[in-house]
Amino acid sequence: MSKTTIQSIPVLDFSLFETDPKTFLDALKPAARDVGFFYLTGHGIAQSLIDDVLSASRRFFSLPEADKLKIEMVNSPHFRGYNRVGQELTKGQRDWREQIDIGSEAAALPVDGGQPAWTRLQGPNLWPDALPELKPILLEWQSELTKLSTRLLKAFAVALEQDRDIFETIYAGTPNQLIKIIRYPGRDATGSEQGVGAHKDSGFLTLLLQEKQKGLEVETEDGRWIEAEPRPGTFVVNIGELLELATDGYLKATVHRVVTPPAGTDRLSVAFFLGAPFDAEVPLLDLAPHLKAQAGGVTRDPHNPLFRNSGQNALKSRLRSHPDVAARHHADLLVAQARAEAVPVA
C-alpha cells in the first residue's frame, strides 16, 4: 500500500505487543511506513487520569485572562508557559489556538557564552497560581506518557528489525518531554481557518489526546487531507522528524494540520512530544538491505534543516515558532539561526 491509497487512520491495540507481538508488529509496520499516523488502544493509561487531564485543562482555559497572562511564555527564556491565540506561528502564519507548554522540570543552566545554545531550553516550567492542581496532574501525565512512548519506541525498534534498545540514548536519563495543552476557538472567534498550519512534528513520537471536537487532518502523498477525528480512549500517535532522520526516510514524519472548529464550538487537545535528551545525538540505524532499499532519504527543506544533535533541532523549532520569546531572550541566536538555515546539515 502506498500513502496515495490511504483512506483512514489505522487502529492498533498496544496490549498485543506483550501477548501477541507478531500481530502487533504486523499492524505497526504498515501503519508506521505507509501512514505515519495511527490510533492506539490498549495503552494502559487510566481513564481517570485522562479525565483529570482534560478537566484540569478546561479549567485552565476558563481562568480570567489576567491569570493566564501571568505565566505568558514571553517571560520564559526556556519557552515555557502560556501563549495567547495568534501568538504562535507555523510557516510564518498565525495559529489560532491558545496553549500552555510544559517541558521537563529542571533548573536553568548558566548562560556564560561557553555552553551550546540549546542549554537555554532547560529551565523551570511556569505554573498558574490560580490552578494549583494543574502541576501534579500534568507531572503525572508527563511521567506516564514518557513510559508509554518509551515502550512504543521499543516496538518501533523491533518493527525496524533492530535491537529492542537501539533508541536507548533517547530515553535513558531525561528525554525531552514536551506537553502542549491546546484550545482552538471556534470560527466565530477567529479570523482564520488555521488552527495550526500544516507541519511535521520535530521529535521522535507524538501522542495526542483529543477531547470531543474534530479538526485534526493528515496529509496523504497525493495531497488529500483525511480526518483523524477523536476516538474515545485512544491516542493518536504520529512520527516526528527525528525518527525520519534515524531511519534515513524509511519512516516519514507525516504532515498534519488542525482546521478551526465551527462557530459556537471550540476544540481541546493535549499533545505529548517525545524528543531526545538535548545533549544526545540521533542514532542513524543500519537498516537491513530490504528496508534500506525503501528508505528514500530524509526530506531536505532549506527552511527546515535537520540536525543530529537533539538540542540544536529542538532550539531551531522553538525559535521559529515563538519569535516573541526569541526576540526578547535570544536575539543573539537569531543571527546564527539565519546562517544555519542557509547551510542544511543533515
Ligand X SMILES: O=C(O)CCC(=O)C(=O)O
Phi-psi region of 83 (alpha: psi -120 to 50; beta: other; left: phi over 0): beta
Closer Cβ to Fe ion, 90 or 337, answer by number: 90
Residue 182: which of Fe ion, ligand X, none does it interact with, CB under 5 to 8 A by kind? ligand X
Closer Cβ to ligand X, 185 or 283, answer by number: 185
Stretch that binds Fe ion, among 15-23, 34-42, 201-209, 260-268 (CB under 5 A): 201-209
Closer Cβ to Fe ion, 201 or 248, answer by number: 201
Q: Which of 88, 144, 201, 219 binds Fe ion (CB under 5 A)?
A: 201
Closer Cβ to ligand X, 33 or 256, answer by number: 256
Closer Cβ to ligand X, 57 or 146, answer by number: 57
> Which residues ranging from 204 to 243 are in contact with ligand X (CB under 6 A)?
208, 210, 216
| Site map (CB under 6 A) of ligand X, residues 150-189, x = contact | ------------------------------x-x-------
Stretch that binds Fe ion, among 18-26, 40-48, 61-69, 199-207 (CB under 5 A): 199-207
Residue 54: which of Fe ion, ligand X, none does it interact with, CB under 5 to 8 A by kind? none
Q: Does 269 bind ligand X (CB under 6 A)?
A: yes
- Residue 269 Cβ, how far from ligand X at the closest point, in Å? 4
Q: Does 266 bind ligand X (CB under 6 A)?
A: no
Q: Does 241 bind Fe ion (CB under 5 A)?
A: no
Q: Does 120 bind ligand X (CB under 6 A)?
A: no
Q: Which residues bind ligand X (CB under 6 A)?
A: 180, 182, 196, 201, 208, 210, 216, 256, 258, 269, 271
